[in-house]
Structures are given as structure tokens and as C-alpha cells.
Structure 1
Amino acid sequence: MFIGILCALGAGLLWGLVFIAPLLLGDYPGLVLSFARYIAFGLIALVPALFDWRRIVALRRADWIAALKLALVGNLLYYAALATGIQLADAPLPTMLIGTLPVVISVCANLLPGHPSETVAWRSLALPLLIIAAGLMLVNGSELAHMKQMPHLPHGSGAGRTPADYALGCAITLGAVAAWTWYPIMNGRHLKAHPNLASSTWATAQGLATLPLALLGFAGYGLFSHVSGGAYAFPLGPRPQLFIGIMLVIGLLASWLGTLLWNQASQRLPTSLAGQLIVFETLAALLYAFILRGSMPPPQVLTGVLLLCLGVLLGVHVFQRTRLRAASAA
């Protein structure tokens, strides 16, 4: 369990990087960032695939179908929906919705457990989840207040935004929440059903499965942009060197290495606990945001962070106690 928690922490720290890319590349459409990120992920995955080719070719047809589903929903659809939701509704509302993922995943995993051993009594799970939810509300509430006071960037401009834009952005971001609720649950179940499947092999397989989907999406966006006369300079945009560099960095660290670490965590931890540990991504994104701002978090944010950490620690204790009881009963 300790190794699994460390792996989840590492994945969260790396996944937090993806929230920086739209800030550094504010003049690039969200869909382009999603497709480019996963093209980079797929190209990077070709390298470990060469060294791991024996296990890659040994994967069954069912494994590749699962990898394609996970790549489509948990990679492309999630990040495209998140980026588009931020553009339509501005950053605060999507951030609040995405911040509920640790609670939503834990509840869904406990409602529909993949194995009886993953079920935890609601009375035991309620307190950690309530504390995590309170921490997320404090953190996101502070961010909402901060962003209302800040001037909008060109891509997140509130000028001309209508209530319909906000509603559509909310709906699309809920799609991102649904995608990333489904992904860790189904990914964890596939890994637990195939314990001999190496985490590195599975991360590489998802990268290989993502590559053709991302290439098709990127080409489709280019065609649409050409036909509609869009302003984006397809394919590499106005700052190609920075764009390529950031995409390669998050493709390697956030996508491939982050997926590898998360697979390790999924194999070692109950799904409900792993869902709570996605809170590390929220904390990492928050840390990186304040580093970019060059400012200290306000007291409300620090209080929320403390509540998030307390909720995670209580969740670890609950699942550890449940596992010890199950072992003693056996």
C-alpha cells in the first residue's frame, strides 16, 4: 500500500503539469493542445515499445480493445473536454468541477465495486470524503474569488460570453468529469484482472493506442480549420518551438510516466482509495499555479490544502484497517 501511495503521489505531481500548458500556450485552442499532447505521448511510447516488444506483441486482442477505449475516453476526450470547458466557461467553474473527482470516483467505485474486497462501509468512508469535499470547496472558492479580480487572458476572455456559453462549458466539463471517473475505475479493474500485466507495458500500450486516434483528430481539426477559415496557423501555431517543447515534456512526463506510475498504484490499491489519491493532482496543479504567479497561497487555500491532506490520511487509515480485518478473517 505504501508503494502504491507513493506511485499515486508521483502520478499526481506529473499530471499537475498539464494544467500549466494552457497557461503557457494561451493562444492555442484546447483541442489542438489535447491532440498534440497525445501525439507526443504516442510517439514517445514507440521508444519503450521497441525495448518491450516481446510483451507488447503478447498482448491479446481484448487488451488492445481496452487500451483503445481507455485512450479515447481517459486521454483524448477528457483533456479536450476540459480545455474546451475552460474556454467556454473560463477557468474557475471547470476547476471546481474537476476538483470533485476524488469524491466522485470514490463514491462510484464504492457503489459499483469490481471486487467484494473493494467495498467499504459508507459510515467509514463518509468522514474522509466529507473532509476532502470541504477542502476542495475552500480551495476552489478561493480560486474563483481570485480569478474574478484578475484581468482575463485573450483565450479566456469574458467579453461577449453569454449564459449559454457558461451552461455549455459546464456541460462539457461534466463530460470531462465523467470521462475521468470512468477511466481510473476501468483501468484499475483491467489491471487487477490481469495481475501479470506489467505497468510499463500497459502504459506503453495506451500510448500506442492513443497515437492513431490523436493523429486522426489533429488532421480532422486541421481540415475543419481550413474549411471554416479559422485563425489558427495549423499545424504548429504561432510559437512552434515552445509548442513542440511543451507537448514533448508533458507527453513524456505527464502522459507516459504518469500513466506508468498510476498503473502501479492501481494494481496495489483499492479503487476507492486510488480515487481519493487523485487529490494529489489537484494539489500539484495548485502548487504550480502559485509558483507561476510568484505568490503565496492565501489562508483559505492553505486551510483547504490541510483538509485535503487530512482527508487522504483518514482514507488511507480506513482502507488499511479494512484490509487488515479481511486478512485476519481469512
Structure 2
Amino acid sequence: MDSGRRYAGLACGMGAGALWGLVFLAPELVRDFTPLQLAIGRYLAYGLIALGLIAPRWNALRPQITLREWRSLGWLALAGNTLYYILLSAAVQTGGIAMTSLVIGFLPVAVTIIGSRDHGAVPLRMLAPSLLLCTAGAVCIGWQALGGSGRSSLIGLLCAIGALASWTAFAVGNARALARLDHVSAHDWNLLLGLVTGAQAVLLIPVSLMIDSTGYAPDQWLRFGAVSIGVAIFASIIGNALWNRMSRLLPLTMVGQMILFETLFALIYGFVWEARLPHPLECAAFGLVVASVLSCIAAHRRHAAIAVGA
């Protein structure tokens, strides 16, 4: 992997993390609404925007998408969007931004371990320092968040763990699907994912009405609509496009490490929302997470040098 592709991939990964970190704030901005309503609002907006953007190219794109691709889009939309965001919203509302960020911060460990089994991937033993640093950073965040906030309810923790499992499956499946589909651009794949996720959101509307029939004031609906549209544009459209571009530039083991940027930005946004500075343990976690990413990059450089030498 040449340095140009590596740095472009890193830039895309950082940009995606900065935008995805915003989704941790959304449940706090509209706490009156349920996690299911938040998911429906976000992904209805995502689906409508994707429909408008993909419509001019639909006739040319449709023949390239087989039944296998539609099936992949269905489960990826469920794992990486619908189910993930319902669980994440529930975790934020019951356990707080910091605790949720902590659990999601373990995504790089899970994805990197799975990616290390791919043919030609960097061996897990070479990634051990990066994984240890990542784990140490997550422990620091957890020690501070779980020990000091008093909001680490069992329900929130279980929802965060469920979100972790759901997004791990998505990250691996999406990277492999993009590697297989060289005839479909990353941007078009993102828009197709938006169409399928939007369809899932429509199907969930009756479920939401049966579960919660609470009436909301007009200003609450306006705030809900603004947050849903904002998250759809910045996180689902632009953030996903950057992530898909990165997934084609970097190997899966590095893709896992890039998820750390989402954790970092989510914590920063959380500190701003709570109007406080990070505690010493949280500062230490930032340093450890950054060191983990740099260690992973160094491991890939060594692996590439060994491969060239062989």
C-alpha cells in the first residue's frame, strides 16, 4: 500500500469519525423521543435524500445490482443503520455519552481481530501493541465514565454492547462487499444503502405508533425534524461516503482502527455538551487511542516492507 493511498484513507477515516460522532449527541438533543423514533426520523431523511441523489442514474445503475447485492444491502442496512442506531440511542439516553463511547470504542479491537484472518493481512501478533493501547485507552475512559457519572445502568450497558456487535458485523461485511463490487462506486453503494434503510424506516412507523402514542408540541417536532435531517446529511450521507472511500483505500485491519476517531470525536462533543473539560483519565485515553492508531500504521509499514523483501 503506497503512502498516498494510506494518507488519503486516514483523512477519510478521520472525517467520517468527526461526522459520525455527532450521532451520539442527537439522542440528547431530542430526549423526549424514543430510540425507535430517532432511528425512523434519521433514516427516513437519509432514504429521501438518497432517492433524490440516485434518481438521475437509476436506469444505468439498476442492472448492475443483482439479487445477491440487494440481500447484502438489506442486512447491512439493518446491522449498520437501523438496529445499530436504535441500540446506540437507547444506550446514550440511559447510560450517557461517555459510557456509550467507551463500549463503541472497542470496535477497532473486534474488527481488527476479524480482519487479521484475511489473506495477506497483517498478522495479529504484529498488531498486539496497537490492540493493547486501544484496550488501555478504553479502560481509562471506562474507569472515569463508569466510576464518576453514576449513569451506567445495566440496560444502557447492554444496549451499547448490542450496538457494538451490530456495527462490528456491518464494518466487516461492508468492507468485504465494497472489495467485491468494483463495478459500483462507493458513493452509489452508500446511496443504495440509504434507499434500503429508508424502506426499513417506513416499515417501522406502524411499530412505533403501536409502542408510543405520545403527543408532541410543534416546536418539539421542529427540533426533531432538524436533528433528523442534520444527522442524515452529515453522518449518513457525507460520513458514510467518506467511510466507504476509506474502506477501499485501507486494509480491513486498518479500517477497524479508524473507528477510533468516532470515539474521540463523540467524547469531545460530549464534553462540549456537558460544558466541562476532560478529566485526567480521559486525557490519557485520548493519548492512548491516538498511539494505537499510529502503532497500527507502523505495523502495516513493517508488514509491507517484509512482503517486498520476500
TM-score (norm 1): 0.85
3-state SS, counterpart of residue 149 of structure 2:
helix
In structure 2, the partner of 1:275 is: 256
Query: For structure 1, which segment, 215-224 or 9-18, has the greater mean C-alpha deviation from structure 2 after superposition?
Result: 215-224
For residues 271 and 210 of structure 2, the distance between their equivalents in structure 1, rounded to whole angstroms, comes to 38
In structure 2, the partner of 1:134 is: 136
Is 1:258–2:264 an aligned residue pair?
no
Q: Structure 2: any 5+ residue segments left out of the alignment?
A: 1-5
| Conservation of the 8 A alpha-carbon contact between 1:103 and 1:129 | yes
3-state SS, counterpart of residue 297 of structure 1:
coil
In structure 1, the partner of 2:41 is: 36
| Conservation of the 8 A alpha-carbon contact between 1:203 and 1:259 | yes
Give 2:78's aligned amino acid: L
| Conservation of the 8 A alpha-carbon contact between 1:56 and 1:205 | no
For residues 19 and 258 of structure 2, the distance between their equivalents in structure 1, rounded to whole angstroms, comes to 13
| Conservation of the 8 A alpha-carbon contact between 2:98 and 2:270 | no
Aligned residues: 304
For residues 134 and 38 of structure 2, the distance between their equivalents in structure 1, rounded to whole angstroms, comes to 30
In structure 2, the partner of 1:302 is: 283
Is 1:287–2:268 an aligned residue pair?
yes
3-state SS, counterpart of residue 123 of structure 1:
helix
Is 1:117–2:120 an aligned residue pair?
yes
Is 1:106–2:88 an aligned residue pair?
no
In structure 2, the partner of 1:171 is: 158
Is 1:61–2:63 an aligned residue pair?
no
Could you list the per-position Cα deviations for residues 13-64 of structure 1 after superposition, in whole angstroms to 9, with x for gaps in the alignment?
Answer: 0100001111111111111111211111111111210233245313222212
Could you list the per-position Cα deviations for residues 141-179 of structure 1 after superposition, in whole angstroms to 9, with x for gaps in the alignment?
Answer: 22234423xxxxxxx7x9xxxxxxx44443333221111
* Correspondent of 2:221 among 214, 220, 240: 240
| Conservation of the 8 A alpha-carbon contact between 2:97 and 2:270 | no
Call closer, same or farther: CA 1:292–1:173 in 2, change over 3 Å.
closer
3-state SS, counterpart of residue 209 of structure 2:
helix
* Correspondent of 1:193 among 174, 180, 186: 180
| Residues 4-23 of structure 1 mapped to structure 2, 5 A cutoff | 4-23=9-28
Could you list the per-position Cα deviations for residues 222-277 of structure 1 after superposition, in whole angstroms to 9, with x for gaps in the alignment?
Answer: 13334xxxxx227x886011110110010011011111111111111111111111
For residues 61 and 37 of structure 2, the distance between their equivalents in structure 1, rounded to whole angstroms, comes to 29
| Conservation of the 8 A alpha-carbon contact between 2:87 and 2:159 | yes
In structure 1, the partner of 2:54 is: 49
Is 1:249–2:230 an aligned residue pair?
yes
For residues 89 and 218 of structure 2, the distance between their equivalents in structure 1, rounded to whole angstroms, comes to 17
| Conservation of the 8 A alpha-carbon contact between 1:125 and 1:315 | yes
Give 1:214's aligned amino acid: A
TM-score (norm 2): 0.91
Give 2:120's aligned amino acid: S
| Conservation of the 8 A alpha-carbon contact between 1:93 and 1:170 | yes
In structure 1, the partner of 2:3 is: none
Percent sequence identity is 31
Tell me the C-alpha RMSD between the 2 structures. 2.1
Query: For structure 1, which segment, 91-100 or 21-30, has the greater mean C-alpha deviation from structure 2 after superposition?
Result: 91-100
For residues 74 and 299 of structure 2, the distance between their equivalents in structure 1, rounded to whole angstroms, comes to 34
Offset, 1:86 = 4.0
Is 1:78–2:84 an aligned residue pair?
yes
Give 1:212's aligned amino acid: A
For residues 245 and 23 of structure 1, the distance between their equivalents in structure 2, rounded to whole angstroms, comes to 14
3-state SS, counterpart of residue 197 of structure 1:
coil
Give 2:131's aligned amino acid: L
Call closer, same or farther: CA 1:55–1:310 in 2, change over 3 Å.
farther
Call closer, same or farther: CA 1:146–1:44 in 2, change over 3 Å.
farther
For residues 249 and 276 of structure 1, the distance between their equivalents in structure 2, rounded to whole angstroms, comes to 26
For residues 2 and 263 of structure 1, the distance between their equivalents in structure 2, rounded to whole angstroms, comes to 15
Call closer, same or farther: CA 1:143–1:169 in 2, change over 3 Å.
closer
Give 1:184's aligned amino acid: A
| Conservation of the 8 A alpha-carbon contact between 1:28 and 1:237 | no
Call closer, same or farther: CA 1:300–1:95 in 2, change over 3 Å.
same
